[in-house]
Amino acid sequence: MAQDTSLQGLRGQLLTQIHGRRLALDPNDYLVGPRDVRVQVEGVSAAGSTIVSTAVATPLSPYGVSLIGASAASATTAYLLAAPIPGVRKWLLVPTTGYSVVIATTISTGAGTAGAFICSTASVTSTFQTMTFGGKGNYVELIGLTTNLWGCISYQTITSVTTGPLVQFS
């Protein structure tokens, strides 16, 4: 049976609140007890059977997993990635043959839009703002460093050819 992995779908599966030895904080304030932590997977239908279209009107959430690059996507299909939340991880994955561009951004305000950036080198002053994914198997793992700076933890391309990673930062 297909499972709804959206944030609301995961919340709908809650059976009990935190209690007893099932989930607790240890003496050092580390969470102990759960087998793992589940996060939302956005970009698939509620049934989990199809990748969402190339509609990019709504920014990608700054947490969880986002499947990007539907089959009909092109180099002009640009997803917007919402501003980072410090300490929160984000994964972007291209499961189809579609090309994908993701632009780090912040929410527009009356004073204009301030950009969010991606730190993918040793320099915290990186001004990368765009990630370009060349096709199926590309992924990036990010973590929010500040409210306008993403840290790139890893990026990878899973491919049968030896062309190396096909994720470009600019």
User: Does residue 68 lie in a domain region?
Assistant: yes
User: Does residue 33 lie in a domain region?
Assistant: no
User: Does residue 141 lie in a domain region?
Assistant: yes
Q: State if pTM tops 0.85.
A: no
Domain that holds residue 64: 40-169
Q: Is the pLDDT of residue 109 over 50?
A: no
Rounded distance between C-alpha atoms, residue 48 and residue 161, angstroms: 29
User: Does residue 27 lie in a domain region?
Assistant: no
Q: What is the mean pLDDT of residues 1-25?
A: 70
Q: Please, which pLDDT band fits residue 48 given cuts at 50, 70 and 90?
A: low
Beta-ladder partners of 160: none
Rounded distance between C-alpha atoms, residue 124 and residue 153, angstroms: 13
Of 42, 40, 36, whose CA–CA distance to 55 is shortest?
Answer: 42
User: Does residue 19 lie in a domain region?
Assistant: no
Number of domains in the chain: 1
User: Does residue 46 lie in a domain region?
Assistant: yes
- Can you give the CATH number for the domain in which 159 is found? 2.60.120.640
Q: What is the mean pLDDT of residues 138-161?
A: 79
Per-residue tokens: 43: 């970009």
Comparison of pLDDT for 20 and 153, the residue scoring more: 153
Give the helix/strand (H/E) hosting 153: strand 149-157
